Chain A
Amino acid sequence: MWKKTIFSLAICTMATVTNAQQTTPVNAVQLAFKKSYESEYNLKYAKAIEELTPVYDAKSYELNLRLGWLNYLNIKYVSSIDYYKKCIELAPKSIEAKLGLTYPLASLERWDEVIVQYKEILKLDPTNMTANFQLALINYNRKDYAQALPYINTYVTSYPFNFEGINLMGWIHYASGKKDVAKTYFQKALLINPLSKNYELLPEMK
């Protein structure tokens, strides 16, 4: 019985050692990341990607996230999306990966998919600042003011003295024909940024 156990343990240990030998050493991965950052800082994105190729492991969240980002910077949006999607599979709760994915999707103007990602973030984190603001902005740009309003409401409730939020809230109301309400928000926005010229041309603000 004991002999069997020891034999099994030995086999198991040997398998682990062999596996470890086949796996890239950790410091090689760290070195690859270091070189990749250096290339990125020099705006050499293709080189930054190449530095990671020898150590690439499809199961590594970190490598996929970094390659998602670098491919986005390198204007390889489809590849970027693939890497970010792998990240999300590996860490489904990752907000940073979902936020990352919205960049290449937006560059490809795949707005419906951008919306899906932001809504996924809100399922995890209903008051997430970026997701709420961006969803409000996308819906505003689509002239869907009724859809834009709940998102900007959530944002402004948590950050009532934020220029971007108050400004967009004002424009959503203005576009919906509620000019008096809009004016109140524009006046608040001007308290945050008195130098803003956003509302100069509006007769309501003269």
Chain B
Amino acid sequence: MEILNKIFFITLIFFGATYFVFSQSEINLREAFKKSYDAEYQLKYQKAIDELTEVYDASSYELNLRLGWLNYKNNRWNESVTYYKKAIAKMPMSIEAKLGIVNALAGLDKWDEIIAMYRSILKIDPYHAIANYRLALIYYNRSDFGNSWKYLKNYINVYPFDFDGNSLAGWIKYSVGKKEEAIVFFRKALLVNPYDTSFNKVVGTNK
């Protein structure tokens, strides 16, 4: 009986200590994030990164995501990519981490990797607005109008009254010589934003 009491007492101490350590580490982590946000709001990105160094845990999605973002803001794009990749490895279905990494990849002009990332978002969410629109835009800038239209079609089908979508649709059609179709899209875009002047040379100033 005495042995049982001892075991019970030791177990109680062990779990109590574990709970305390767990709670304390949670409090420290929260405090580090708070300080990091405070530094970020003051545009002190390096300080915001430093605040997280002591509590850094390579297996934490949240820490890697935050450090990916802060390193991007701090123009440390390679470091940013590394952290975001760790976040993605931890949570492969995370769209937010994939959207985060493209900012840093764009800073490094790694457009093929950006395309791969947006495509991986579309595997999770085929109608993802940002991924479809930006893929369309990248291909448009590469003068690959076939691929550009493929992605833009998905975007404007679900958001038919969106200025950016109609504008890009117009430019794609215009670039492939379908001027009349282009004008239809430009006019739709002008219904969304009547103050826009970017189509004047095509639509005319009297619109």
Contact = CB atoms under 8 A, between A and B. Distances in A.
Interface stretch (A101-109, A111-119, A183-191): A183-191
Interface residues of B, number: 36
B161 A127 contact: no
Contact of B125 (A27, A127, A191): A127
Interface in B1-45: 26, 29-31, 33-34, 37
B125 A162 contact: no
Contact of B161 (A61, A191, A195): A61
Contacts of A127: 95, 124-125, 128
B95 to A, nearest CB: 4
A159 B94 contact: yes
Contacts of A160: 61-62, 65, 91, 94, 96-97
A124 B125 CA distance: 10
Interface residues of A, number: 36
A96 B159 contact: yes
B191 A30 contact: yes
A95 B94 contact: no
A94 B29 CA distance: 43
B162 A95 contact: no
B85 interface: no
A125 B128 CA distance: 8
A65 interface: yes
A37 B160 contact: no
A159 B95 contact: yes
14 contacts: A29-B191, A30-B190, A30-B194, A34-B194, A94-B157, A94-B158, A96-B159, A96-B162, A97-B160, A125-B125, A125-B128, A157-B91, A157-B93, A160-B62
Given A96-B158, A125-B126, A161-B96, A194 B30 contact: yes
Contacts of B174: none
Contact of B62 (A128, A191, A195): A191
Given A91-B160, A95-B159, A191-B29, A157 B94 contact: yes
B96 A158 contact: yes
A159 B37 contact: no
Contacts of A62: 160-161, 188, 191
B160 A191 contact: no
Interface string B48-62: 000000000000011
Interface in A137-167: 157-162
A30 B187 CA distance: 8
Interface of A: 26-27, 29-31, 33-34, 37, 61-62, 65-66, 91, 93-97, 124-128, 157-162, 187-188, 190-192, 194-195
A162 B158 contact: no
Nearest to B65: A161
Nearest to A100: B161
B127 interface: yes
B198 interface: no
Contacts of A188: 62
A85 B47 CA distance: 52
A33 to B, nearest CB: 5
Contacts of B190: 30
A25 to B, nearest CB: 10
A93 B154 CA distance: 10
